[in-house]
Amino acid sequence: MSKIRKCLFPAAGYGTRFLPATKAIPKEMLPVLTKPLLQYGVEEAISAKIDTMAIVTGRGKRAIEDHFDISYELEHQIKGTSKEHYLTEIRKVITNCTFSYTRQIEMKGLGHAILSGETLIGNEPFAVILADDLCDNDGESVLSQMTKLYAKYRCSIVAVEEIPMEQTNKYGVVGGNAEDDNVLRVTDMVEKPDPKDAPSNLAIIGRYILTPDIFDIIRETKPGKGGEIQITDALLTQAKQGRVIAYKFKGKRFDCGSVDGFVKATNYFYNKEKK
Ligand code: UTP
């Protein structure tokens, strides 16, 4: 199967860097301007012609389900008023795709969160968006660039970005050989390496295409950095078989999991909207 139909959104993390805001509100629901981070992610998936959204949540994340559902009371109140247009975008999202949910019972890391989504994905290649990495592009969205690449390579794909070498200890970092313009065949992957041990300065950001054999591999993957089950470690198994490519995407990306990145994203989208 070459078409990617489903997108998984791991959204079970605690978002501790945003406490106290994230005590009762999921990090993925924090708004940049008026739109929650997760809605930006869902709209990016839709732009890549994906219509099935699979969301991994946890305790205290019910606001996510309510957001992607019709609020009859609100609809009734606002219908026919001058404020109705505020609901246009979210209505479009709700009517154009389906949402399903599962819970990650224990927060054992991103690899484990992705494995928790197996029940919603089944046996087909799928996309993964980490909504706290907010991407924007005036042309084609990052995920759309990646799904096109999947049709050509038919293997797992990670989106990468060049970072200053001193920041490698914040990211999964890849090493590999050039395959095409902006495309590398990955031979090495390390989670949060010290700069001296990093295979390159190419950091994985929150966009992936994964082949479904990744689930069995994650099941066999032992906890790694920070005692968590890391998707980077599972992907290394595929990379050793030559089945992972890294793609230097076109576009902008903001790390909205950090206060700094969140403020930058807010300023960027505000200035863009004002134009
Ligand atoms: P982060 O590494 O940003 O962790 O997760 P976090 O817990 O959300 O935030 P901090 O570090 O405590 O501030 C990256 C993505 O993976 C999801 C998060 O929800 C986020 O979208 N995640 C992480 C899970 O779903 N489950 C986990 O066990 C870990």
Cα–Cα distance, 158 to 236 (Å, whole number) = 12
Backbone phi, then psi, for 82, in 5-degree steps? Answer: -70, -10
Cα–Cα distance, 231 to 220 (Å, whole number) = 12
Ligand 1 nearest atom to the CA of residue 108, by list position: 28
Residue with CA at minimum distance from ligand 1 atom 5: 13
Backbone phi, then psi, for 244, in 5-degree steps? Answer: -135, 135
Q: Tell me which residues have their CB closer than 6 angstroms to ligand 1.
A: 10-17, 27, 56, 104, 107-110, 112-113, 130-132, 257
Coil vs helix vs strand at 118: helix
Tokens of 242: 């030559």
Tokens of 75: 């609809």
Quickly tell me which residue has 């946890």 as its tokens: 58
Ligand 1 nearest atom to the CA of residue 56, by list position: 25
Classify domain 6-274 at the CATH topology level. Answer: Spore Coat Polysaccharide Biosynthesis Protein SpsA; Chain A (3.90.550)
pLDDT tens for 55-72 read 999 877 789 999 999 988
Grade residue 246 by pLDDT with cuts at 50, 70 and 90. very high
Grade residue 273 by pLDDT with cuts at 50, 70 and 90. confident
Ligand 1 nearest atom to the CA of residue 112, by list position: 28
- CA 133 vs. chain centroid, Å, equals 7
Task: Please state the rounded mean pLDDT for residues 1-10.
Answer: 91
Cα–Cα distance, 258 to 150 (Å, whole number) = 30
Burial 66-78 (b: 16+ CB within 10 A, else e): ebbeeeeeeeeee
pLDDT tens for 146-187 read 999 999 999 999 999 999 999 999 999 999 999 999 999 999
| Type of residue numbered 23 | K
Residue with CA at minimum distance from ligand 1 atom 1: 13
Tokens of 10: 């791991």
Torsion, Cα 31 48 163 269, to 10 degrees, reads -30
Coil vs helix vs strand at 273: helix
Q: What is the pTM of this model?
A: 0.96
- Any idea what DSSP says for residue 222? P
Grade residue 274 by pLDDT with cuts at 50, 70 and 90. confident
**Which pLDDT value is given to residue 1?**
63
Residue with CA at minimum distance from ligand 1 atom 22: 13
User: How many helices (H) does the chain have, and how many strands (E)?
Assistant: 10, 13
pLDDT tens for 70-124 read 988 988 999 999 999 898 899 999 999 999 999 999 999 999 999 999 999 999 9
Average pLDDT value for the chain: 95
**Which pLDDT value is given to residue 69?**
93
Cα–Cα distance, 272 to 14 (Å, whole number) = 30
Whether residue 20 is preceded by a cis peptide bond, meaning omega within 30 degrees of 0, is yes
Cα–Cα distance, 42 to 141 (Å, whole number) = 12
Query: Does 2 have pLDDT greater than 80?
Result: no
Tokens of 23: 């005590």
